[in-house]
């Protein structure tokens, strides 16, 4: 197996152009290494992108944030330059796997893996993020993160392309994320809920957005749940019911064996997220 290690964008473009068939891109390798152990058909080459400086950077501006694809979960969780609107992203990154996994796993790998239970996909959808794609001709293109993932394990990347990074607009609101998993450590999500709200000084909810993940092949925008929140006070009773009801309906519609449990558990998850907003 060939190992390719570019150190700048010029080398990266050259290697993307000349890489053999069945080349796999690797950054943290937390998912790919496991897949390689399980798959009898091994790649012809590994292209390690973790040495390219631009892919390891976080740049925070007034209006947008750019996160390179090789930035780790630990770097995101511990970053001090993010505004409140990206708090959900830090909460999600801080809950991925174990400490050892977070130190290696990258934001690009999390999205490229396109797992329905992936923690960051729904968060990035709520944040209105775009995937920046880099190709062998050193051209950049932008795709909304929701459209980039087309289904379980499938993304809009062609041969000679990689994820350069993620562009996230900065908005005047607070966001929070919570997941329900099956284990206390190295938790794989059964349900994710991420919410964004703009709340005035009196506690009135002026704007709301709700996304749920791990309940369908791709994250689901819960428009009805968000509409029920607008104009209400953050401390008002039954807010969790208004969030969890539409999510539970989607879960039950899929007729899975775990549906009854998840449809009940989602209310507690919604309560947890709303409690996080009350604490701000």
Contacts of 236 (CB under 8 A, 6+ apart): none
Residue 274 included in any domain: yes
Q: How many domains does the chain have?
A: 2
Q: What pLDDT was estimated at residue 36? A: 64
- How wide is the angle at C-alpha 20 spanned by C-alphas 14 and 24, nearest 5°? 90
Residue 260 included in any domain: yes
- Residues 129, 155, single domain; the answer is yes
- Give SS3 for 199: strand
d(CA 108, CA 48): 13
pLDDT at residue 187 greater than cutoff 50: no
- Residues 45, 77, single domain; the answer is yes
Task: Indicate the residue among 169, 191, 216 that finishes a domain.
Answer: 169
What are 178's strand-pairing partners? 193
- Residues 115, 142, single domain; the answer is yes
d(CA 144, CA 166): 9
CATH of the domain at 128: 3.30.465.10
pLDDT at residue 183 greater than cutoff 80: no
d(CA 280, CA 262): 28
Report how far apart the first and last C-alpha atoms of the chain are (Å, whole number): 51
Domain that holds residue 266: 182-279
pLDDT at residue 10 greater than cutoff 70: yes
Strands (E) across the chain are located at: 2-4, 23-26, 45-48, 58-60, 64-68, 130-135, 140-144, 149-151, 154-155, 161-169, 174-181, 189-199, 205-213, 220-221
Cβ proximity of 88 and 176 under 8 Å = yes
pLDDT at residue 161 greater than cutoff 60: yes
- Residues 143, 268, single domain; the answer is no
Give residue 13's pLDDT band: very low, low, confident or very high (50, 70, 90): very high
- Residues 242, 140, single domain; the answer is no
Give residue 35's pLDDT band: very low, low, confident or very high (50, 70, 90): low
Residue 56 included in any domain: yes
d(CA 248, CA 180): 14
Burial class of residue 104, CB neighbours in 10 A (0-12, 13-18, 19+):
middle
pLDDT in tens, 66-101: 999 999 999 999 999 898 999 999 999 999 988 888
d(CA 161, CA 64): 24
Residue 174 included in any domain: no
- Residues 119, 80, single domain; the answer is yes
């Amino acid at each position: 197996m060939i190992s390719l290690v570019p150190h700048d964008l010029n080398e990266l473009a050259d290697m993307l152009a000349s890489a053999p068939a069945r080349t796999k891109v690797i950054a943290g390798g937390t998912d790919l290494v496991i897949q390689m152990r399980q798959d009898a058909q091994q790649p012809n080459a590994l292209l390690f992108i973790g040495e390219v400086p631009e892919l390891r950077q976080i740049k925070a501006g007034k209006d947008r944030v750019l996160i390179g694809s090789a930035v780790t979960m630990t770097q995101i969780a511990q970053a001090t330059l993010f505004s409140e609107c990206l708090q959900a992203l830090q909460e999600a990154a801080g809950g991925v796997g174990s400490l050892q996994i977070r130190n290696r796993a990258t934001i690009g790998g999390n999205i490229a893996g396109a797992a329905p239970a992936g923690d960051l996909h729904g968060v990035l959808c709520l944040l209105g993020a775009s995937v920046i794609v880099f190709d062998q001709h050193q051209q950049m293109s932008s795709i909304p993160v929701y459209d980039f993932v087309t289904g379980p394990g499938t993304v809009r990347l062609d041969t000679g392309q990689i994820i350069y990074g993620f562009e996230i607009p900065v908005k005047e609101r607070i966001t929070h994320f919570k997941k329900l998993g099956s284990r206390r450590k190295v938790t794989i999500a059964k349900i994710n809920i991420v919410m964004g709200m703009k709340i005035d000084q009196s506690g009135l909810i002026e704007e709301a957005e709700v996304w749920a993940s791990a309940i369908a092949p791709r994250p689901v925008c819960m428009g009805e749940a968000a509409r029920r929140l607008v104009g209400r006070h953050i401390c008002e009773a039954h807010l969790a019911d208004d969030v969890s009801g539409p999510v539970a309906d989607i879960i039950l519609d899929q007729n899975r064996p775990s549906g009854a449990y998840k449809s009940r558990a989602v209310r507690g998850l919604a309560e947890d997220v709303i409690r996080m907003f009350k604490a701000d």
